[in-house]
Amino acid sequence: NNTVVRFMNPLEGDVIIEDMVKGRVVINNRELDDLIIARTDGTPTYNLTVVVDDWDMKMTHIIRGDDHLNNTPRQINILKALGAELPVYAHVPMILGDDGKRLSKRHGAVSVLEYKENGFLPEALINYLVRLSWSHGDQEIFSLEEMIELFDACDVNTSASAFNTEKLLWLNQYYIKSKDPAELAEMLQSFIHESYYNTNEGPDLVEVMKVFQERCSTLVDLAEEIRFLYDDFDAYDEKQAKKQFKEATLPILASLKHQYEALDDWSAEAIHHVVENTVNTLEVGFGKVGQPLRLAVTGHGKSPSIDITLALLGKEKTLRRLERAINFIKA
């Protein structure tokens, strides 16, 4: 059987869609064809199955992209033919990439799970998406409760919105920074596992979060940022090593190591006092002491204040890494 089944569309009258976003949309039935609802092999087509599915699940509202607007009058006529109650429709504007084209995989992550795997918090993604084509004054940050109270689909803009990754990262950083440290530490566990290091031997992860959570825009970055506290790094940042690890650095690192070996009180205050003492004794600037020390213990040139960093790292690892840096310079 090489025949298809078509829906006999009405020839007279209009299909009126009272769209929550677009407003009233009127399509004359003469503009609509008798669409195929079953293929030659008997399988139903999209426009029939989606209607039956929505009807079967008793959908009251159909909220979807405005690229589906052309299908809606056809689906309404099928629903009427079935004697079904019509749902309320809302056709929201499309999301475009930075290049003005429809958002797709070539722009990066497009599924919610991908954003989760990339270290985005659900609150940040929801907050960002709700602000794409809707606003409430100049407010940027919305709690879930505020969204529920303030959001109205009737206030959604009709024009397409451009997806701005930088804005999403800014929001994500805000929510990471605002997160309860204990909750954040729990959320970070899966990302730490993916990075193949163990936090059982090292500083308390909750205490680490209190120091580092304001420094990163994704959980992936955060897991990588704190790695040095638990896992020995393979190499120093090449650019920083050329800049900081010079012959003149040797007496500075040697002095620091000697003083830290004698330190019984491994606190941020005591650690800072050693740095100050080295600066004054060797008559060099703080940068000449702090930066080589930071590179020696972290492997790169960025970290929170050096006293807090060393306090978290612990005395044993600090001394071991200072020794490694001294040997690296000598070599």
Question: So which residues are the catalytic ones?
Answer: 105
Helices (H) and strands (E) in the chain, counts: 15, 8
Burial degree of 75 (CB within 10 A; 0-12, 13-18, 19+): buried
| Measured distance CA(233)–CA(223) in Å, rounded | 14
Strands 5-6 and 161-162: unpaired
In which element (H, E) is residue 276 found?
Answer: helix 268-282
Q: Which residue has the tokens 């033919």?
A: 81
Instruction: Output b/e per residue, 85-110; b: 16+ Cβ within 10 A.
Output: eebebbbbbebbbeeeeebeeebeee
Q: Which of 313, 119, 122 is nearest to 223 (CA)?
A: 119
Residues facing residue 102 across a β-bridge: 96
Cβ atoms 21, 90 nearer than 8 A: yes
What Cα–Cα distance (Å) separates residue 229 from each residue in 32, 232, 260, 274, 297? 66, 8, 18, 21, 9
Please state, in angstroms and rounded to a whole number, the distance separating the CA atoms of residues 147 and 149: 5
Q: Judging by beta carbons within 10 Å of its beta carbon (0-12, 13-18, 19+), is residue 291 exposed, middle or buried?
A: middle
> Could you give the CA distance from residue 202 to residue 230 in angstroms, rounded to a whole number?
5
Show the tokens assigned to 47.
């426009």
